[in-house]
């Protein structure tokens, strides 16, 4: 009986991983971006006077990770960097017209779908899912791994 439950759990985990991989492939086909890159692009587009530090803080990414992702977005001509007129030490990020088009072409990301459906669950069920996934991370030896709050597979920047 216990092995049946373990096998069913592993099967469900494989379905989650496949859904994540499928979402990543769909996004890459539509935009050429990874979920992390699209998330950063959307965050840059969300306001004025956006700095790399602001994006890192909001998305809970490390500064080095944001720098690498922004470097890639700049190379793709989706984002520009400029110095602030008020404080030349501050670097400001802006989405280009090509970046705007990329945002319009992007399909719904898996984490957005997850967020909407998860929020619709009762609090007790949300807590149960969190407890189960935290325990699963522990069982798999991944409890202490650093992870951004997004559904992605592979490297953050596949350039």
Domain residue extents for the chain: 2-106, 108-144
Residues 20-64 pLDDT 10s: 888 888 888 888 888 889 989 999 998 888 999 999 998 888 899
pLDDT at position 158, please?
Answer: 39
| Distance separating alpha carbons of residues 76 and 158, to the nearest angstrom | 13
CATH topology of domain 2-106: Arc Repressor Mutant, subunit A (1.10.10)
* Cα–Cα distance for residue pair 127/19, rounded to 1 Å: 22
> What token pair was written down for 131?
């407890």
116: tokens are 């909407």
**Average pLDDT of the chain?**
86
């Amino acid at each position: 009986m216990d092995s049946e439950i373990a096998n069913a759990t592993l099967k469900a985990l494989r379905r989650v991983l496949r859904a994540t991989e499928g979402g990543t492939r769909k996004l890459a086909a539509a935009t050429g971006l990874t979920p992390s890159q699209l998330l950063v692009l959307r965050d840059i587009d969300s306001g004025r006077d956006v700095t790399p530090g602001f994006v890192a803080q909001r998305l809970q990414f490390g500064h080095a990770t944001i720098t690498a992702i922004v470097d890639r977005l700049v190379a793709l001509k989706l984002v520009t960097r400029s110095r602030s007129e008020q404080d030349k030490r501050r670097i400001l990020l802006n989405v280009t017209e090509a970046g705007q088009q990329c945002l319009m072409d992007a399909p719904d990301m898996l984490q957005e779908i997850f967020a909407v459906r998860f929020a619709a669950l009762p609090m007790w069920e949300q807590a149960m899912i969190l407890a189960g996934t935290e325990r699963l991370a522990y069982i798999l030896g991944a409890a202490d791994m650093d992870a951004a709050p997004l559904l992605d597979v592979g490297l953050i920047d596949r350039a």
